[in-house]
Structure 1
Amino acid sequence: MHGTPPSIQPRPWEPAARQRDGPGARRLLRAWRSPSLATTVARMYRDPPSDAPLVLTAINGVVVAYDRLSGRQVWRFQATLQGVEHAPTLCVVEGQRVVSVSAKEVRTAMLSWTAAAEVNCLDYLTGGRLWTCDAVGEKGIGLYTATLLVSGGQVLVTQGTQLFAFSLLNGTLQWQQPLRGLDGSDVVRPVSLALPGHTALVAHR
């Protein structure tokens, strides 16, 4: 017995499929395939920000800048490292300036040496040194325990038992204060520095 064949109902997903193939979807696909949009999107994932083309490393008083696209070395800076080996080097980028802190020893008497933090300010793009100064703590302390924080045009550094504030512009010492809370022992521990929204770097040995 033959009856009238049942009507074929469209599958639930077919209208959506037809809608995806509609004129609106085709316009979006053409826009995505256009050279201008494709190039822009590709650059979002390929190119670093134009104001931050370099990534820096700092170790043993050596600061090296690498091109973020190619990995090529762009510049290299060597701190003094007088009488010190294998001490941590701190590095912060602030705008177009790089501040590095590394260990050195300075003579404070005929046969006496004291650990110091050498502070160098470099140009971010070229590595040229803009200024340098030493943060020398209490005499006779031979341990390098620097902390670095840069903010608001100021370079804050601790070394030994002292806290220093330098001008980011030219390295001028703005003020120096002894650290409070020390227990009088000969061992100077790493010191934390804090400002709202900023994290300090601490040299651990």
Structure 2
Amino acid sequence: MMPRHWSRRFATSATVLGLAAALLAGCGSSGKPKPAELGPNPGLLGVRQVWTAKLGEVGYPLDVQVTGQQVALASSDGTVLALDARSGRELWRASAKAKLSAGVGSDGQRTAVATQANEVVVFEAGRELWRQKLSAQIATAPFVAGGRVFVLTADRSVTALDGASGRRLWTQQRPGDPLVLRQSGVILAVGDTLLVGLSGRLVGLNPLNGQVRWDAAVATPRGTNDVERLVDLVGRVSRVGDSVCVRAFQIGVGCVDAARGNLAWTKPSQGYAGVHGDDRMVYGPESDGKIVAWRRSDGERAWVSERLRYRQLTAPLALGRSVIVGDETGLVHFLSREDGSPLTRVSTDGSAIAAAPVVAGDTLVVVTRNGGVFGYSPE
């Protein structure tokens, strides 16, 4: 599991949520809220398990990376693995020779992870190409694109490294905050612009030199102490064309027009896991397990489901007619995109789902804390 301590620079999301839970407990609650009863499995959607694979324990903010039919993932002990999503067949396996703090980034050719010693390690077809040590901790998977590896670090800096050699190309740094989350942040590309989450802002950078092209405020700090003023954008994100929608930890959800750098809308939302969606809706879980659907056009709520309350949900995946989330008991829930009603659910190995579900080709891929990797074929 994630470390429970916090330092001058890092705070875990579990720590912040734990403080909130303690305050609630002091107001009359007795311990952890009881998860909602699920009732019988409705079985309204056919989901067939097609393969399984095994990875080591996953206790860090894993980002499962999909490139075509290839799925790249990594365990806490530094094992990095590439699988064929159609069969679950292992394509290659390698080791970073150190415990990981973030991963995985890949463009299908090069695959990158970050270690707890602040090193970025890059592999090609299972062979280590290079490793480069940075000056700050890394909790967000490196982003690999355009022959470069882009790294977002805890001191609010973005560094571009040459994909072939690891040579530093440029660094863009913002003033650091007293605390940032030990949770996956936001870094992606839209067209020829690199988008990064810096505090509560989504910033568009020129990937060639790091110069700022635009800066959109999704959320602003509030409160009187460092914990209350903690603002971070967290992964995953929902991108449809130039529309990029993100979650600001425990503050709100918002969408930005990445072509112009304008904030389209922002709405209050108490959540810590990212969002996903389609051209109509953006979906995301609240901290208490409610799942909300916002209209992508204006941010108004379309529906709210309370059927999975207090189940410690992952970020969702919008796929077919479903919104798919994992929970802390190893269940994967399929809800209707139209109203949040349950369609079906499947079980894994009983340990918590460790990362947001992903889709590669026609295969849904789910990873658990105990290192189980499951491939499903949804209807």
Class of the TM-score when normalised by the shorter of the 2 chains = 0.5 to 0.7
Amino acid at match of 1:95: G
Which structure 2 residues correspond to residues 23-62 of structure 1 after superposition, within 5 A? 53-60=109-116, 61-62=118-119
Rg comparison, structure with higher value: 1
Answer yes or no: is the 8 Å Cα contact 1:147–1:200 preserved in 2. Answer: no
Give CA deviations for 1:158-191 in whole Å, capped at 9, x if unaligned: 1222221110111111122322487765242544
- Larger RCO: Structure 1 or Structure 2 (Cα < 8 Å, ≥ 6 residues apart)? 2
Please say if 1:162 is aligned against 2:162: no
Which residue of 119, 132, 150 maps to 2:158?
Answer: 119
Matched, 1:66 2:117: no
Structure number with the higher helix fraction is 1
C-alpha distance 129-189 of structure 1, shift in aligned 2 (>3 A): closer
Q: TM-score, normalised by structure 1?
A: 0.53
Of 124, 127, 130 in structure 1, the residue corresponding to residue 169 of structure 2 is 130
One-letter code aligned to 2:130? W
Q: 2:128, 2:142 → 1: CA distance?
A: 17
**How far off is 1:119 after superposition?**
0.5
Higher strand content, 1 or 2: 2
How many residues are paired up? 138
3-state SS, counterpart of residue 142 of structure 2: strand
Calculate percent identity across the aligned residue pairs: 26
**1:96 corresponds to which of 147, 150, 155:** 147
Contact conserved, 2:154 with 2:180, CA < 8 A, in 1? Answer: no
Report if the CA contact (8 A) 1:141-1:160 is conserved: no
Q: Which runs of 5+ in 2 are unaligned?
A: 1-89, 93-106, 250-271, 273-379
The CA distance in 1 between the partners of 2:219 and 2:127, in whole Å, is: 45
Aligned-partner Cα distance in 1 for 2:157–2:206? 15
Q: Tell me how large the CA RMSD over aligned residues is.
A: 3.7
Equivalence map 1:120-199=2 (5 Å): 120-136=159-175, 141-144=178-181, 146-180=185-219, 185-191=228-234, 193-196=237-240
Structure 1 unpaired stretches of 5+: 1-44, 105-116
CA distance in 2, matches of 1:141, 1:167: 27
